[in-house]
């Protein structure tokens, strides 16, 4: 697969004022790069080598967070990760103006390209493909009902907070259900696991809904069993997990 260069043009830190736990970054790439909402790219940096093959680069899969209509930009979001990996490098060393190397896009976890009513479910950094789907759907069908369930450990790692709040302000049918699962005195919103909130949620016409889930395998599996208990079928459920 062909590699292409990218230049970092924006970095947002989470939390913004204490020690960084996660980052979102925008990378300028050739205008010819195009992707579907939900797909991922492989990213590398010249200074991060593969431990087993030190003359080779270390590559990491990262879902694309922006909408496909934003040409020439790939937006990513990640937590810190362990030392020696790409996420750790990005969160500790990367600066605006630095070069990254990319491959792709690839992946089959993509949003249906016809009018429907997505229920988007993100666990932590699983928000990356999910926000791409939200942006794309609301941009293409602005009057579509879109429900987001987004679980955070704490509010200081609320990736894409400003972008999501802006989307919600622009689209009255975009419902955000952001929940925090750990002790956090600064949070005034929902608490506890997504499963519990799904059980009492009004999905409207259930036949129109398609669920897209992204997050840890355990969390995704548990949530899917609740979705099925609620009467949704397998072909209404699409997932990505890592």
Ligand X SMILES: Cc1cc2nc3c(=O)[nH]c(=O)nc-3n(C[C@H](O)[C@H](O)[C@H](O)COP(=O)(O)OP(=O)(O)OC[C@H]3O[C@@H](n4cnc5c(N)ncnc54)[C@H](O)[C@@H]3O)c2cc1C
Cα dihedral 81, 86, 88, 94 in deg (nearest 10): -150
CB 69 within 8 A of CB 106: no
| Closer to ligand X by Cβ: residue 110 or 203 | 110
Q: Which residues contact 54 (CB under 8 A, 6 or more apart)?
A: none
Minimal distance, residue 230 CB to ligand X, in Å: 26
Q: How far is the CB of 148 from ligand X (least distance, A)?
A: 16
**Could you tell me the smallest distance in angstroms from the CB atom of residue 20 to ligand X?**
13
Contacting positions for ligand X (CB under 6 A) = 40, 50-52, 58, 60-63, 77-79, 81-87, 107, 125, 128, 240, 242
Q: Which is nearer to ligand X, 15 or 107 (CB)?
A: 107
Q: What's the token pair of residue 93?
A: 């060393």
SS3 content of the chain, % helix, strand, coil (to 5): 25, 35, 40
Can you list the positions of beta strands (E) in the chain?
Answer: 3-14, 22-28, 40-44, 60-63, 73-79, 99-106, 117-123, 146-152, 174-180, 190-191, 209-215, 237-241
d(CA 94, CA 53): 23
Q: Which is nearer to ligand X, 22 or 178 (CB)?
A: 22
Measured from the CB of residue 231, what is the shortest distance to ligand X in angstroms?
A: 29
The pair of structure tokens assigned to 61 is 């899969």
CB of 44 to ligand X, least distance (A): 9
Smaller CB separation from ligand X, 117 or 125: 125
By C-beta, is 104 or 232 nearer to ligand X?
Answer: 104
Taking the complex as a whole, the smallest distance from the CB of residue 61 to ligand X amounts, in Å, to: 4
| Alpha carbon distance 71, 157 (integer Å) | 27
Cα 96 to Cα 99: distance, rounded to the nearest angstrom:
9
Q: Which is nearer to ligand X, 48 or 224 (CB)?
A: 48
Under a CB-based contact definition with an 8 Å cutoff, are residues 31 and 121 in contact?
no
């Amino acid at each position: 697969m062909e590699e292409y260069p990218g230049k970092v043009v924006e970095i947002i830190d989470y939390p913004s004022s204490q020690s960084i736990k996660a980052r979102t970054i925008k990378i300028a790439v050739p205008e010819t790069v195009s992707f579907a909402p939900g797909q991922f790219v492989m990213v590398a940096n010249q200074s991060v080598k593969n431990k087993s093959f030190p003359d080779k680069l270390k590559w990491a899969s990262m879902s694309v967070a922006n909408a496909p209509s934003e040409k020439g930009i790939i937006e990513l979001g990640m937590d810190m990760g362990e030392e020696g990996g790409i996420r750790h490098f990005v969160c500790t060393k990367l600066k605006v103006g630095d070069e990254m190397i990319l491959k792709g896009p690839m992946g089959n976890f993509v949003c249906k390209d016809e009018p429907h009513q997505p229920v988007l479910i993100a666990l932590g950094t699983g928000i990356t493909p999910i926000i791409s789907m939200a942006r794309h759907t609301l941009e293409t069908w602005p009057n579509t009902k879109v429900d987001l369930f987004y679980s955070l450990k704490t509010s200081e790692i609320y990736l894409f907070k400003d972008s999501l709040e802006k989307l919600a302000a622009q689209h009255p049918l975009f419902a955000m259900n952001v929940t925090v699962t750990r002790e956090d005195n600064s949070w005034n919103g929902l608490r506890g696991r997504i499963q519990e909130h799904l059980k009492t949620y009004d999905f409207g016409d259930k036949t129109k809904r398609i669920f897209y889930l992204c997050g840890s395998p355990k969390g995704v599996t548990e949530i899917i069993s609740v979705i099925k208990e609620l009467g949704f079928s397998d072909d209404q459920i699409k997932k990505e997990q890592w």
